[in-house]
Structure 1
């Protein structure tokens, strides 16, 4: 079991995705393989087995190599160019005003929101207006900014199989004191886990369209904020993670809000580095908000 756990951690990309997308399902919960190590440690101590304890060094080393760096102390203050907040506010949120106030309380430069419904949108606009005079909304996603916005437009990331009205992508230029940055806000299709495995084909297709749009983006830096319905280890998000830098520190599990199991709300960047990412207190949504610091000067192209 120790060798198998270590193998899954190191070679998770070798787990096939052809049947039930088992590979993506494993990668969505990859950090939780650390619990297997804890169980095996208890069994090894119970049996007083030196061999079992030595075998456990394999998964411990594999887990520490893959995730240990996320625990290292990161700069929560100091040099940065933008502080951003990403939040799926939920189309069933009963307290949009309280949610907006909570997000503004974190004092970010940018606030990206998803699942904006017509009834709640005026509340978000009114509540955020004093601190965020610039905003753009396309479909059910929006971006609020302390800095002027330009070139805001709808981003078409709709999968072919969806026939109803569906607008979940936004691209705008943020004119910051340090220069212009292309900001993307996206809400990828949901995934479902059932008896046949993980249903993620629409999510994967939408991620591909979003990745193509970012690849064609001529401006630098680029920041992507959104509910991507996938973790950074999930190969379904390869069109994005292969082009963008992900958070360097922090787990920030954001979903579900009641008992967070995974971070599917992401902040990524190109020609910029995403430092420490953290969750904010729960709002009226089934997601937790995440906040991250983005810096240009430590960028990796």
Structure 2
């Protein structure tokens, strides 16, 4: 039995898309927590030792090898920072955050070049603007998303990623140009619709539709490099984000689990890039949000 479980686990780690999305989007649900399949190997190790089963211990090598091949590279140390690196921070600050000033100070302490925020509400926005103004004199806010920058911003515009059926005022995406010492780049900030897990599986239709709209916007972008920051309500393994991950580079190092803040199980706060490399990503200490902030190092060129 242990050998069967080991083979099945290895197969799921290597080929998660073999699980169809046609029923309850079970494939996407699996992909959201895919790295955690490594815990199965820990259980199999305990079973093998308990029963002193050579077959079970030998079969254990399959999921270990599969997990190492798929995710082991994320654990390796990153390269040294280079002269064309930008540090960026992404954070869903939560519309229920009771300490926006403390949150803003915590993000600035990471000394990033860019800070992307989602779930900005009118009562908290002036606090973020006031607290970040000295270190980040340039910022743009459209709807509930915003970008703060050390460098000038130009050409900021609304990004229409609203899925069909949402009639209320819904502005959760922007595109702007950032004039850095290394040249201009296009930056996108987005907050995709939430997903829900219920008896019927994963409800992600609106998230997937919004990801498709965002992917088409990125594909039409004529400027390079491109950096995308946002709460995408999905992991980089989730096929629902394929319109983005097929076009953009994802982090090469780091897991940076960001949600939920109290017990992070997955990273749905993402940094992706085109014509640039997301060298590494890490989670920052908790703020007043239900998400953890993430900081990434982006190498231009």
For Structure 1 versus Structure 2, the TM-score category normalised by the shorter chain is over 0.9
Q: Hey, what does 1:247 align to over in structure 2?
A: 251
Q: Hey, what does 1:219 align to over in structure 2?
A: 223
CA drift at 1:160: 0.5
Q: Hey, what does 1:186 align to over in structure 2?
A: 190
In 2, the alpha carbon distance for the partners of 1:230 and 1:76 equals: 29
Report matched runs for 1:98-137 at 5 Å.
Answer: 98-137=102-141
Q: For residue 159 of structure 1, give the secondary structure of its aligned residue in structure 2.
A: coil
Q: Hey, what does 2:212 align to over in structure 1?
A: 208
1:37 aligns with 2:44: no
1:91 aligns with 2:115: no
In 1, the alpha carbon distance for the partners of 2:67 and 2:165 equals: 38
Q: Which runs of 5+ in 2 are unaligned?
A: none
CA drift at 1:162: 1.1
* TM-score, with length taken from structure 2: 0.98
Q: For residue 275 of structure 1, give the secondary structure of its aligned residue in structure 2.
A: strand
1:152 pairs with 123, 148, 156, which one? 156
Q: For residue 106 of structure 2, give the secondary structure of its aligned residue in structure 1.
A: helix
- Would the aligned equivalents of 2:84 and 2:182 in 1 still touch at CA under 8 Å? no
Give deviations 1:127-151, integer Å, cap 9, x for gaps.
0000000000000000000000000
- Would the aligned equivalents of 2:82 and 2:299 in 1 still touch at CA under 8 Å? no
Number of aligned pairs? 297
Q: Hey, what does 1:272 align to over in structure 2?
A: 276
Q: For residue 45 of structure 1, give the secondary structure of its aligned residue in structure 2.
A: helix
CA drift at 1:76: 5.8
1:262 aligns with 2:247: no
In 2, the alpha carbon distance for the partners of 1:107 and 1:240 equals: 27
* TM-score, with length taken from structure 1: 0.98
- Would the aligned equivalents of 1:76 and 1:276 in 2 still touch at CA under 8 Å? no
Q: Which runs of 5+ in 1 are unaligned?
A: none
In 1, the alpha carbon distance for the partners of 2:46 and 2:83 equals: 43
Q: Hey, what does 2:29 align to over in structure 1?
A: 25
CA drift at 1:77: 3.6
In 1, the alpha carbon distance for the partners of 2:18 and 2:166 equals: 31
In 2, the alpha carbon distance for the partners of 1:229 and 1:100 equals: 22
